[in-house]
Amino acid sequence: MVFINCGRGFRSVAGRSAILFALPLLVVACASNPNQDDGEDGEAEREPHAVVKFCNDLSKGGADVVLTVEVGFPVAATLSASTGSCTPLAPASCQAIPLGTDVPLTLRDGSQVLWQGGMNQVESGEEWILVAELDDTSGEPTVEGGVLKPEFPCSEIE
């Protein structure tokens, strides 16, 4: 089966702009995290964690397909999304993911592994978006993404 970008895109609460094309505008280019609590204000610190939303912009042979991304090894989070949708659905909280360096990612279509890669550095308080799409060079399924800017909360992206 051949996978293709479905072109339906995704929208944020602010409008109907496609995440695929807006990803550079949504994602922070550096590793600094303006949402991270340094604990200096006297408030109790929360358990350290980051969160993620997964969006699927692929179809299979022209038909909708449910793809799954697994985060961590052993797998700490599993998120599945149909063509043209994201999970968790807005306004639900996004899925907690492990912190660390080189956090593994696996993209699956059922039991078939389509792609394996990783997240370079996941830090406490970060909100990530991952999008299943086609690699521009190889034409094979891949996952792109990054840390969201504070003005685009993970829980508000549809």
Please provide the DSSP assignment of 42-100 as one string.
Answer: SPPPPPP-EEEEEEE-EEETTEE-EEEEEETTTT-EEEEEETTEEESPTTSPPEEE--E
Q: What pLDDT sits at residue 90?
A: 92
What Cα–Cα distance (Å) separates residue 83 from each residue in 29, 57, 99, 148?
Answer: 27, 6, 28, 22
Residue range 7-60, pLDDT digits in tens:
433 332 232 233 434 454 445 433 333 344 444 444 445 567 899 999 999 999
CB atoms within 10 A of CB 110: 10
Residue range 119-153, pLDDT digits in tens:
999 999 999 999 999 998 999 999 999 999 999 99
Domain layout of the chain by residue ranges = 3-34+50-156
Please state, rounded to an integer, the average pLDDT across all residues of the chain: 78
Residue range 80-113, pLDDT digits in tens:
999 999 999 999 999 999 999 999 999 999 999 9
